[in-house]
Amino acid sequence: MSILDALTDKPWLSPGIGARAEVTEDVERRAADAGVFLGVFLGVVAALFALLASAYLMRMGVHGPIGHGAADWARLAEPPLLWVNTAVLVLSSVALHAATVAARKGDGRALTTWFLVGGLLAVVFLAGQITVWRQLDTAGHFLALHSVICTAVDNPFAPPPGPLISGNPAVAFFYLITALHGLHILGGLVAWARTSVRVLRGASAAAIAPSVRLCARYWHFLLLVWFVMFGLLLMT
């Protein structure tokens, strides 16, 4: 547009331009508010996992120096499947990052593909974590719990035969860490599912780009949390 055209332009005679501008500003404002809320929420979650890691290290060192462990602490051999699950979570985060790039470029087809793949890989990750729990169950770490359940069914008034979970606190912490992380993944999948509905209904890349960015940011954060917690389990 030339300078003369710009000076003589009458935007009030162009119907719809003002309305579209207001809609765009409203979308950007809502996206900014959601970003602030997500940032605060991630800060709370980070503090929660930091406290959990601190409790893990303190419990491991009770009545004994770090490295030797507490009297009742026995190192838990992590199932090899955890490495596969970690790789799946990495791929999920990469896919959501690719969806963010596609949204920025306005490539709706690539956005749909990568966004759906990212969420489905997160579902695979959760399924893998449940499989790890079953492997530990097969190894006998839930044997005492099964005994309590069977006894309660046969005789509800009978006293419990022993602790609900095996006496190794490392096992209890493993379940707690993986369950808490899995619950946050599950919560992220709720937001992913809502955005996926909009994607499949044909929403434009520009319209859903803010939601895709927020989902990707949340996934990257949970991947970082998993790296820290998994590394803690491996080193101790």
Which residues have C-beta within 8 Å of that of residue 215, sequence separation ≥ 6?
96, 115, 118, 188, 191, 192, 195
Looking at the chain, the whole-number percentage of residues with pLDDT higher than 90 is 49
Decide if 178 contacts 133 (C-beta within 8 A).
yes
- Greater model confidence, 167 or 128: 128
Q: What is the mean pLDDT of the chain?
A: 79
Chain segment 130-184, per-residue pLDDT in tens? 999 998 888 776 644 443 334 334 444 444 444 444 467 778 888 999 999 999 9
pLDDT exceeding 70 applies to what percent of the chain? 69
CATH annotation of 3-235: 1.20.120.80
List pLDDT tens digits, range 70-96: 556 767 778 899 999 999 999 999 999
Q: Cα–Cα distance between 62 and 46 in angstroms, integer?
A: 24
Alpha carbons 32 and 171: distance in angstroms, whole number: 41
Higher-pLDDT residue of 33, 35: 35
Q: Where are the domains of the chain?
A: 3-235
